[in-house]
Each structure stands twice: as structure tokens, then as C-alpha cells.
Amino acid sequence: MFTFAAIILLLAVQAPPQSPSSAGSLVGCASDAQTQQLPGVAVVAKSGRVQRTTATDTGGCYELKDLPIGSYRVTALLGGFDNVTRDAVTIAPASVERLDFAMRISPMCECVHVGGSTLAEHWDYAYAVLYVRLSPSEPQPRTQVGYYRHAATVLKVLKKPVHPLPTPVLVIQNQQRGTSFPYDIGQEEVVFLQSPRPWYAKQSEFVIQSDNPGLAVSGDPAIVFLVQDGHIQKAPSDSSRYVGMPVNAFFKELRALSRNK
């Protein structure tokens, strides 16, 4: 006959082991410069292939439940405000991480086309043309409010600048107007970089003024062709015919421009 202690021991042996939760949560609130809570702010958390989106409620707060554990980039977006991005937000098992956003009203943006309207004119105007892959943002020095800093791995120099390229090359992207996400880590692009650099960029930094390639505030110009799966995914509006072109064919056309100079 089993004793009471033996029954307890048997149940303990047969019970499945309890594994810790493999998910956590992210909560927080968004407010403006006057600390007024902001409803309707889109909050996007991304880690590898995982992307979760929610919005702040009428009280200006949000909650993202059941996030797989890992390190996330979290971006808050609201029309009329600068995007706010935080990297390396760690979600631990069965934890609740808090992340609040202080958002600033975007200044009025008078955007103009710069550097010409044809690929040849963009080429002539550019200080350098590089094919790069974006890497995680540099933690220091601190980036100007409203901007987002990436290190860029140079995959190919298509038009060599007069002066040697800095190492590493940094690209800082304007997040103003709350209309677009920061460029993704790992994304590839052909950038037509301009000179001189704006006052807020250091010697090793180039500026992408807008997420909309081909638009730039005077003094911050850069033309961008986004690349995905070996093809041009997005191009300036005046170069829309290049969308869908294999990037190697695009390089060939750029080499032809170089030989004609």
C-alpha cells in the first residue's frame, strides 16, 4: 500500500517540469513637451523577423503583451511629431519592461528636389556615391534630436570622393514629420551623398534628410535608392523607371556615367 508520502513523491516525479515563460511585455506612455499625454501614437517593436504594433489609448498609454524574449528596436510615430526610436530594449522572460516616449512637435518642412532631375545630374552633383548596408546605430556621440544614427558598411564605392572615406561611415537620417520608420538595420541602399555636410553632422557623418528618397531640405541633401533582394525597391520620383531594376544593371549604368566624364 502506498503511503501518503509515497503518493506525493510519485506525483512529483510524474508532474511535467515547469518551464519559464518565453515571453514578456512592454508598457509605457507617450507625452509631448508639456507632458500632456498623446493618444493615437503608433508604437512598433521589432526584433529580427518579429514585429508587433499597437497604439496609445485615450490616456496616452500602450501595452504590448506576449513579446518573445530578445532585444528590440521600438519606434513611436505620430503625424506632426518627430519619430522617437529606442534600440536595445530587452524583453526578458515573464517580465514587464517600461518604455515611455517624450515626443517633440516637428518643425515645418519645406522640402525641395536638389541635385538635378536625371541620374546623370544626380551623379554629377554627388560628392560620393556608395553602396552600403546599414548596421546598428552608434551609441555615442549623442545624435541630434529628431535624427537617427546608423553605422554603414560600404559594400562598393561607385563614385570615389575627393577625400578618403572616414571609417566607419556614419549615416544620420532625419525622422521628422512622423511619416516614416527609420531605415532598417541590414537594409542596403545606393546613396548619392552631398557636400558640404550640415552643421550638425560630424566629419564622419553623412545625412539622409528624408525617408522619401529624392526629397531633402536645402543644406541636408542626399539621394537614396533602396535595394531589396538584389533589385531597386524605391527610388526618387524623378528616377522611378529604375524601380525593379537588378542592382547590378544599375551599377553598370552608373559605371557608364563615370566613363563618360
Give the residue extent of every domain in the chain: 23-102, 119-259
Q: How far apart are CA 190 and CA 192, in angstroms?
A: 7
pLDDT at 242 over 60: yes
The architecture that CATH gives domain 23-102 is: Sandwich (2.60)
Residue 62 cell numbers, joined: 500602450
Residues 48-102: pLDDT tens digits? Answer: 889 999 999 999 999 999 999 999 989 898 887 888 888 889 999 999 999 999 9
Domain 119-259 has CATH 2.40.50.120: yes
Residues 225-240: pLDDT tens digits? Answer: 989 889 999 888 778 8
pLDDT confidence bin for 212, thresholds 50/70/90: very low
In 10 A of CB 3, how many CB atoms? 8
Return the pLDDT at 109. Answer: 43
CA dihedral 173, 176, 179, 180 (to 10 degrees): 20
pLDDT confidence bin for 19, thresholds 50/70/90: very low
Q: Please state the φ and ψ torsions of residue 123, each to the nearest 5 degrees.
A: -60, -45
Return the pLDDT at 145. Answer: 61
Sort 147 into a burial class: Cβ within 10 Å, 0-12 / 13-18 / 19+: buried
Matching CATH topology for 23-102 and 119-259?
no
Q: Which of 35-44, 60-69, 166-175, 240-249 has the lowest mean pLDDT?
A: 166-175
Residue of higher predicted confidence among 119 and 4 = 119
Q: Please state the φ and ψ torsions of residue 193, each to the nearest 5 degrees.
A: -90, 145
Radius of gyration of the chain (CA): 24
Q: Are 243 and 228 in contact (CB under 8 A)?
A: no
